[in-house]
Structure 1
Amino acid sequence: MLLEAINKARYRKHLNYVIGACVVALTGGSLGVAQCLIALFPDPDGSHFHWNLLGVIVTSLMVAMVLLKVRRHSYMYEVVYVWDLKQALNKITRKMTKLKTAAEQGNVDAMLAIQFSYTASKQLWELDDNLITMDDLATWQAHLDTLLKQYNVTVDIKEYNAVLLKQF
């Protein structure tokens, strides 16, 4: 995955709209489906939990299908980019202990994956206004910079590919 410059204002606007639309669709759809099922199959005991649950499940599946369908629309570009970025970071985070151990031993691929993670995390946290851990990130980056200098290695995050994580 290549990191791209994202317009923060546009991203936040589109994300808020997508979240709002999903909330409205889930609420309205769940109630609508449940009410239709209750009208078609009334329960004399008055317990309609299973119909309400089915309404939530059916509507959730419909919303997921719509999101997958509109995923490639230009309006969704920034939102999908951040979703994909979070998935890429999760893959790296699951292997971070092994990556750090390998980086300490001079493994260039490990250093590349860590550098990508730090750069992508910075971008993500700035987009989401999550600046609390930026000081920690600066410390981690300084340690990585020390390792890069110690092993006389330069990494270019444009060369990062998730496939290299398989070795860890």
Structure 2
Amino acid sequence: MQLIQIDKTRYRKHLNRVIIGCGLALAVGSLAISQTLIALFPDESGSHFHWNLLGVIVTSISIGWALNKYRGHDYMTEVVYVWELKQALNKITRKMAKLKAAGREGDADALLAIHYSYAGSRLLWQLDDNTITMDELAIKQAELDTVAAKYNLTLDAKEYNEAILAKF
């Protein structure tokens, strides 16, 4: 997955609308389903937990289906890109201890994966206005650059491929 610059304003606007839409759909859909089921199948004990739970489950599945169906729509471009980038970075993070150990030994693939992780994290943090941890990331990037220079490696996030994680 290539790192690309996306329009922060458009991303935030679309993400907020998607979140609000999903929240409203969950509230309205689950209430409508559960109230309909309660009206059709009343319980003398007054406990309708199972109907409420079913309403939430059915609505959640419907929202997931709709999000998956429209993930290719132009409106969802930035939202889906960030979601997929977070998944890619999470795969690297799960292997970070092994990657750092191999990187200290000069493994070019490990150093490239770490570099990609830092570059992707920087992009995400800028989109989310999470600038508090940027100084810490800059320190880690400087350490990585020192190790890469020690082994005469040039790291470019464009060269990263998720397949290299398989060996770690």
| TM-score band w.r.t. shorter chain | over 0.9
**Match of 1:38?**
38
Q: CA deviation at 1:11?
A: 0.2
> 154-163 or 28-37: which moved more?
154-163
CA RMSD after TM alignment: 0.5
**Match of 1:50?**
50
Q: Deviations over 1:39-84 (max 9, x none)?
A: 1111001100110011000000000000000000000000000000
Structure 1 letter corresponding to 2:97: T
Structure 2 letter corresponding to 1:123: L
Alignment of 1:23-102 (within 5 A): 23-102=23-102
Q: Secondary structure at the match of 2:143?
A: helix
Structure 2 letter corresponding to 1:96: M
How many angstroms apart in 2 are the aligned matches of 1:49 and 1:123?
A: 43
How many angstroms apart in 1 are the aligned matches of 2:157 and 2:69?
A: 30
**Match of 1:138?**
138
**Match of 2:125?**
125
Q: CA deviation at 1:139?
A: 0.8
Query: Is there any run of 5+ residues in structure 1 with no aligned partner, and where?
Result: none
Structure 2 letter corresponding to 1:86: K
Q: CA deviation at 1:135?
A: 1.0
Q: Secondary structure at the match of 1:3?
A: coil
**Match of 1:22?**
22
Structure 2 letter corresponding to 1:57: I
Overall identity of the aligned pairs, in %? 63
How many angstroms apart in 2 are the aligned matches of 1:164 and 1:107?
A: 11
Q: Secondary structure at the match of 1:45?
A: coil
Structure 1 letter corresponding to 2:56: V
How many angstroms apart in 2 are the aligned matches of 1:145 and 1:3?
A: 19
**Match of 2:4?**
4
How many angstroms apart in 2 are the aligned matches of 1:32 and 1:131?
A: 42
**Match of 1:113?**
113
How many angstroms apart in 1 are the aligned matches of 2:145 and 2:33?
A: 56
Aligned length: 168
Q: Secondary structure at the match of 2:5?
A: coil
How many angstroms apart in 1 are the aligned matches of 2:143 and 2:114?
A: 11
How many angstroms apart in 2 are the aligned matches of 1:125 and 1:5?
A: 12
How many angstroms apart in 2 are the aligned matches of 1:149 and 1:112?
A: 13
How many angstroms apart in 2 are the aligned matches of 1:14 and 1:77?
A: 9
How many angstroms apart in 2 are the aligned matches of 1:138 and 1:9?
A: 25
Point out 4+ residue stretches in structure 1 off by more than 3 angstroms: none
